[in-house]
Amino acid sequence: MKNLWRSLLMVCSVLAAGLAGPATAQAATEEVKICYRAHLANYGWQKWKCNGEFAGTAGENRAVEAVEVQIWGKGTFSASAHVRNEGSQIPQFAASGQVIRVGTVGKALPMESLTVSLGQFNGTLEGYAHIQNLGWVGPYRGYAVEVGTRGQVLQLEGFSLKILN
C-alpha cells in the first residue's frame, strides 16, 4: 500500500512540475528547506519556522497538539505523530511544497512524538525535541527522525528540524 501511495505522489509531482512550466519547476528543485509550525495547548497555531528554528515552548509545560510540515527540493516526504490516548497515526505522504498536518486540533490531546521522513535516498534530517520532565534531547539524525518519546506518557513541548544534505 505504501508503494502505491508513493507512486501516486511521484506521478502527481511530475504532473504538477509540468503544469508549472520549466522555470518554476527548476526553481523549486534548487532550494532545499523544511518548514513547520506547532499547534500548542491553550494557544493555537504558532508562526511558521524553518531550517532548525525552534517551534513550541520550553519550560512552560505546554503540549504540542498538532504539527504542519512542508519540505521543498527533496521529492516526496512523510510525517506522522504519536498522540496520547490514540497511539501512532498512519504516516501521511506529500510531494515537495505540499503541507502535511499530523496530531489533533480541538481534542486537547498532546503529541508525544513527531516522525518525519525524506525517504532512504533523499537526504538526512536532524531533529531535537524538548520533552516534558526531560528537557532537550537529541540530536536525532537519519533519513527518518522521530523527535519525542513513546510509551512514557511525556508530552512533546517543542522541537526543531533541519535538512543536512
For residue 3, being part of any structural domain is answered with no
Task: With respect to residue 94, please indicate whether it lies within any of the assigned structural domains.
Answer: yes
User: Averaged over 27-53, what is the pLDDT?
Assistant: 89
Is this structure's pTM higher than 0.75? yes
Whether 55 maps to a domain, the answer reads: yes
Residue 11 maps to a domain: no
Residue 10 lies in a domain: no
- Which triple of cell numbers denotes residue 93? 505522504
Mean pLDDT confidence for 15-20? 38
Residue 15 lies in a domain: no
CA angle 78, 80, 81 (to 5 degrees): 160
Q: Provide the domain count of the chain.
A: 1
Angstrom CA distances, 94 to 29, 69, 133, 136, stand at 15, 10, 33, 29
31 — pLDDT class (breaks 50, 70, 90): confident
Q: In terms of residue numbers, what domain contains 81?
A: 32-163
User: Where is 20: in which H helix or E strand?
Assistant: helix 2-20
Residue at 26 is within a domain: no
